[in-house]
Structure 1
Amino acid sequence: MESLEEISQQEEPIIEDSVERIGDRNVDIKVTPTPLAKHGTGSWKACKFILATECFEELAYYGIQFNLVTFLKTILHESNVSAARNYTNWQGTCYVAPLVGAIVADSYLGRYLTTLAFFAVYLIGMAAMSISASLRPDGSSSSPQSVIFFLGLYMMAIGAGGIKPCVSSFGADQFDDTDPTERLKKNSFFNWFFFSVYIGSFVAGTVVVWVQDHYGWVIGLWIPTLFIALAMASFFLGSSSYRVQKPLGSPLVSVCQVIVAAVRKRNVDLPRDASLLYELPEDVPMAEGTKKLQHTPVIRFLDKAAVISSAEELYSAPWRVCTVTQIEELKIVIGMLPIWATGIVFFAVLAQFSSTFLVQGRMMDTMVGTFAIPPASLACFDAVSVILFVPVYDRVLIPTARRFTGNERGFSELQRFGIGLFLSILVMAAAVVVETRRLALGRMCILWQVPQYLLVGASVVFACVGQSEFFYNEAPESMRSLCTALGLLTVSLGSYLSSLVVTLVASITTRGGEPGWIPNNLLKGREGFGGIVVVLLEPRGHIYRST
């Protein structure tokens, strides 16, 4: 092995590559550097368009999500099991697509163009679903109506998923972290962004669902389509005021480089002195958004990617030799995986509030006085819970908790996430109590479902926000976009897990001609909906305790 002194004389290929990545990436839509255009772009001037865009987009998204099971059952005539499975599979796809959107934005188009591109896919998918609602059904899974609807449904999933990792980050891009005033505004932006999401959710769960149940699916699907068009128009109208960051390349490539280099050198011996591992010299600045990380003595196999076997390797970098910083970034991501895995089970439980909870609600008395409440409208109580609980959490609970924990935030990210997991157990326990009572009485008022929906909102405030804070604060600066997408992926995998549980429960409990726990008519099921709830509750408690 050649000495580091000899090799360092031939390091120009790697150093030059790093230097080329340095520079101001912030420009306006005319590719004018931000310092020259700062007073005419960004800040709230740009964010008002982004907030309106998010509100319209979430209204359209939830206008489909909240009542999708009803459409599948009443229009496409699917069974309870098939409708629940198709719902969770679709929602899972919605949260796999963010990985694609993050890679496209970071590597090729940037967040602005990526958002516009996926909005176009989104709009076409929504239009296809709306057209399918006007076609004559024939009860076949291969009918033109079913084919067009599912084609549009999954185009919508790709469009919505591609947008999710881009819009919030693009909004944050509108504020200059070096400016103290704008940095404070940036913190406020996230609060209003969260508020916009749930305003859209609330309107969808009340007005849009009510229209779908009372005026039919043709107009009920064209309304969300109209709001996607408005979202796209709002985003485009703000173009002249945006600050746009040019893409530097996906951190996913860096992760792959470390893995490939480590595997190639699996037979290489590690030096006893970690300072002999490759890193850029101190006088060479890092690319924007990154900083050097110190070596840690964990997952040492990956350290082999930083062993320099020969000077020639530097010319074939970075797939043969990686820096210590690259390796440490990957170690950090690996260290977050246990919390990431726990989130999968949390979202498997959360998936029930728009699938099996809706099936349960359809078997209850929807009349309150002279007013009929659509079962899907109860999802609005989730939004109400979040909207009301956020200020209580911020103004009352945090100051109180701060006196006991000594943490300026009241709770750490993991404590907040853990409280959310506990609340998710209460969600399913409430659903079990309601279902047990419904089976005993035969029929009961749908408003008995309200507590479980309110608990869903409370669990979201703790677990979802806590998980997001954890991934943001723990992730390397250069990998925060990737970790955001990975966080969204837990929603997808949780939906797929829910689909798997529903399928297995239906298969096992229908043996021998039994109606099973999730029959088409829940009144005929011996255990009823409570069976699937208990199955989902048991693994949840196990994972929570192990965490």
Structure 2
Amino acid sequence: MAGEPQPSGAPTKGGWITFPFLIATMAGLTIAAGGWTNNIIVYLINEFNIKRIDAAQIANIVNGCTTLFPILGAILADSFFGSFTIISVSSLISLAGILLINLTAILDTLKPAPCENGSTVCMAPSKTQLAILYTSLALSSMGLAGTRFTLATMGADQFDDPKHQGVFFNWHFFTMYAGILVSVVGIVYVEDNVGWGLGYGLCVAANLIGLAIFVAGKPYYRLMKPQSSPFTGLACVIVAAFRKRKVLLSSKSEDYWQETQARGTKFVKTTPTNSFK
């Protein structure tokens, strides 16, 4: 997912000066994301009176989205908008989502009445309350997916030496797992023992601080121009193969994949065999 370097004559950017901005951003966003994802099942059961199996299904959908959506974020960053724009917008989206979750924890009108002690019948959330809840989870999931690995790609783009890139990746993933540990131990404890409003409020603060630090480092970043993504090329191949599924095979080798060299054209593939077809 590397992009195109800046043209010659442009001010030199990138390097280790960008390291503290990117690592601090990773720490803030990871703590914010871990604070709401790692305890979401308990929140749905205790605060929204959602059945355990339904809460688990919602959590599985959230985990699936945060696992698959980074592919879309990578395509948008590589082919259209660049990593900086995608990370900035995704951080804003996640901030809006976590803030909305925090409001559901603070405002009684955004969640059903709590169950009475010893009662087996609890009031279910209204359609409006569920709509707000699902919107907050969707925004938070999309924001998390757009920053999780795009931030690593942008960090690697700041270095030309592969050894320096390796050091950055080591610190990047160390920071990510350390942030998860802090959120699981610290923020989840606050949510369970102090209050959901304060716990999610800490997530909002962590996300906001991470976004502010990331934007503050923009003058030092080496911003790569969007080029193309391997996923875009793969999609084009699939579409072309489907559209040409009834086309008869040509017996001419020049109708197939070829490489253009300085001294002419070199054919590197011949007519596909029946077994290859």
* TM-score of the two chains, using structure 2 as the length reference: 0.84
Q: Which residue pairs with 2:258 in the alignment?
A: 279
Q: Which residue pairs with 1:228 in the alignment?
A: 207
Q: Which residue pairs with 2:134 in the alignment?
A: 150
Correspondent of 1:37 among 4, 8, 11: 11
Q: Which residue pairs with 1:125 in the alignment?
A: 97
Alignment of 1:397-546 (within 5 A): none
CA–CA distance in 1 between the matches of 2:135 and 2:83?
A: 26
CA–CA distance in 1 between the matches of 2:240 and 2:72?
A: 24
SS at match of 1:152: helix
Alignment of 1:310-459 (within 5 A): none
The CA deviation at 1:259 is: 2.9
The CA deviation at 1:97 is: 1.7
Q: Which residue pairs with 1:26 in the alignment?
A: 5
Computing the radius of gyration from Cα coordinates, the structure with the larger value is 1
1:173 aligns with 2:148: no
The CA deviation at 1:265 is: 5.5
Q: Which residue pairs with 2:249 in the alignment?
A: 269
Q: Is the 8 A contact 2:40 2:59 kept in 1?
A: yes
The CA deviation at 1:151 is: 1.2
The CA deviation at 1:275 is: 6.3
Q: Which runs of 5+ in 1 are unaligned?
A: 1-23, 28-32, 177-181, 285-291, 302-547
The CA deviation at 1:80 is: 1.7
CA shift in 2, pair 1:293/1:187, >3 Å: farther
Q: Is the 8 A contact 2:79 2:226 kept in 1?
A: yes
The C-alpha deviation readout for 1:408-427, integer Å capped at 9, x for no partner, is xxxxxxxxxxxxxxxxxxxx
By percentage of residues, which structure has more helix? 1
1:199 aligns with 2:194: no
1:134 aligns with 2:106: yes
SS at match of 1:45: helix
1:99 aligns with 2:75: no
Q: Is the 8 A contact 1:132 1:146 kept in 2?
A: no
The C-alpha deviation readout for 1:146-179, integer Å capped at 9, x for no partner, is 4322211110001111222311100000011xxx
Identity %: 27
Q: Is the 8 A contact 2:83 2:151 kept in 1?
A: yes
Q: Which residue pairs with 1:218 in the alignment?
A: 197
State how many pairs are aligned: 258
Look up the equivalent residue of 1:37 and give its one-letter code: P
CA–CA distance in 2 between the matches of 1:56 and 1:112?
A: 16
CA–CA distance in 2 between the matches of 1:225 and 1:174?
A: 28
The CA deviation at 1:200 is: 0.4
Alignment of 1:282-293 (within 5 A): 282-283=261-262
CA–CA distance in 2 between the matches of 1:222 and 1:230?
A: 12
Look up the equivalent residue of 1:152 and give its one-letter code: S
The structure whose RCO (Cα within 8 Å, separation 6+) is larger is 2
CA shift in 2, pair 1:158/1:267, >3 Å: same
Q: Is the 8 A contact 1:68 1:87 kept in 2?
A: yes
CA–CA distance in 2 between the matches of 1:76 and 1:231?
A: 29
Q: Is the 8 A contact 2:23 2:171 kept in 1?
A: yes
CA–CA distance in 2 between the matches of 1:226 and 1:85?
A: 28
Q: Which residue pairs with 2:148 in the alignment?
A: 164
The C-alpha deviation readout for 1:204-243, integer Å capped at 9, x for no partner, is 0111111111111111111101100011111101101100
Q: Is the 8 A contact 1:135 1:145 kept in 2?
A: no
Look up the equivalent residue of 2:179 and give its one-letter code: G
CA–CA distance in 1 between the matches of 2:167 and 2:267?
A: 30
CA–CA distance in 2 between the matches of 1:293 and 1:253?
A: 25
SS at match of 2:82: helix
* TM-score of the two chains, using structure 1 as the length reference: 0.44
CA–CA distance in 1 between the matches of 2:256 and 2:80?
A: 31
CA shift in 2, pair 1:270/1:119, >3 Å: same
The CA deviation at 1:293 is: 11
Q: Which residue pairs with 2:116 in the alignment?
A: none
CA shift in 2, pair 1:84/1:244, >3 Å: same
The CA deviation at 1:261 is: 3.2
Q: Is the 8 A contact 2:34 2:183 kept in 1?
A: yes
Q: Is the 8 A contact 1:129 1:150 kept in 2?
A: no
Give me the CA root mean square deviation: 2.5
Correspondent of 1:111 among 83, 86, 92: 83
CA–CA distance in 2 between the matches of 1:294 and 1:86?
A: 50
Runs of 4+ in 1 over 6 A off after TM superposition: 296-299
CA–CA distance in 2 between the matches of 1:293 and 1:74?
A: 66
Look up the equivalent residue of 1:127 and give its one-letter code: L
CA–CA distance in 2 between the matches of 1:50 and 1:295?
A: 44
Q: Is the 8 A contact 1:101 1:161 kept in 2?
A: yes
CA–CA distance in 1 between the matches of 2:151 and 2:256?
A: 39
Q: Is the 8 A contact 2:258 2:267 kept in 1?
A: no
Q: Which residue pairs with 1:81 in the alignment?
A: 53
The CA deviation at 1:192 is: 0.5
The CA deviation at 1:270 is: 4.4
CA–CA distance in 1 between the matches of 2:127 and 2:236?
A: 46
